[in-house]
A and B are shown apart, each in its own frame.
Chain A
Amino acid sequence: EVQLVQSGAEVKKPGESLKISCKGSGYNFASYWIGWVRQMPGKGLEWMGVIFPGDFDTRYSPSFQGQVTISVDKSIRTAYLQWSSLKASDSAMYYCAKGFRSDNLDYWGQGTLVTVSS
């Protein structure tokens, strides 16, 4: 059974760093893109970027380039989304998902809620 299991909810202060994770199982982890999608409270889905674990090819939305870092550790089948300095506007639900292409995300994680507040 394909599963993507994300790390738990986080509460952080502005300026703090954060790394959330997404662990895949039940499929060939290296052969599918892992994407990250933001959903701010009451708002729509926003495509942030993707990484291909097989060769570490990483692509970002222009809106998120330089704001976050996407990485992967193939040895533990885990992808990451990282911030170096959080802002209140980063408060959102973050989903990871896998797909054979960056737009074709067929399995999704349960989401990680990030709250940034002073």
Chain B
Amino acid sequence: QSALTQPRSVSGSPGQSVTISCTGTSSDVGGYDYVSWYQQHPGKAPKLMIYDVIKRPSGVPDRFSGSKSGNTASLTISGLQAEDEADYYCCSYAGSYTVFGGGTKLTVL
């Protein structure tokens, strides 16, 4: 199995919106509505931001939203804030196992 494909880096200014893509196959992203997104700040454990493609855990701001089309899922962060600067990882259920994306570094300019 291969890691899901994410852009290495994205950037945006405070207040802007950014979208991070996550491309897999019909065996993972395209085959299930079970895509999640994690935020990781340096030296910290990951934090679940989105699950089941579009759902937000309690406490996650509604500035974070998820979507999916075919084999590609996306995380959109609107109204960028300085604290959003972090690494973001997508993750997809693939039946007998689960796979992460390679990660995207978000820089808030």
Contact = CB atoms under 8 A, between A and B. Distances in A.
Contacts of B57: 106
A104 B100 contact: no
Given A45-B40, A61-B99, A106-B51, 19 more contacts: A44-B100, A45-B38, A45-B46, A45-B91, A45-B100, A49-B97, A59-B96, A61-B98, A101-B34, A103-B34, A103-B36, A103-B93, A103-B98, A104-B51, A105-B36, A105-B38, A105-B48, A105-B91, A110-B45
B86 interface: no
Interface residues of A, number: 25
B45 A95 contact: yes
A91 B48 CA distance: 25
A108 interface: yes
B89 A45 contact: yes
Interface of A: 35, 37, 44-47, 49-50, 59-63, 95, 97, 101-106, 108-111
Tell me what chain B mostly uses at the interface: helix, strand, loop, or mixed: strand
Interface of B: 1, 3, 34-36, 38, 40, 45-48, 51-52, 57, 87, 89, 91-93, 96-103
Contacts of A97: 45-46
B1 A104 contact: no
B105 to A, nearest CB: 10
Given A44-B89, A45-B89, A62-B1, A106 B97 contact: no
Contact of A60 (B35, B48, B97, B103): B97
A109 B45 contact: yes
Nearest to B46: A108
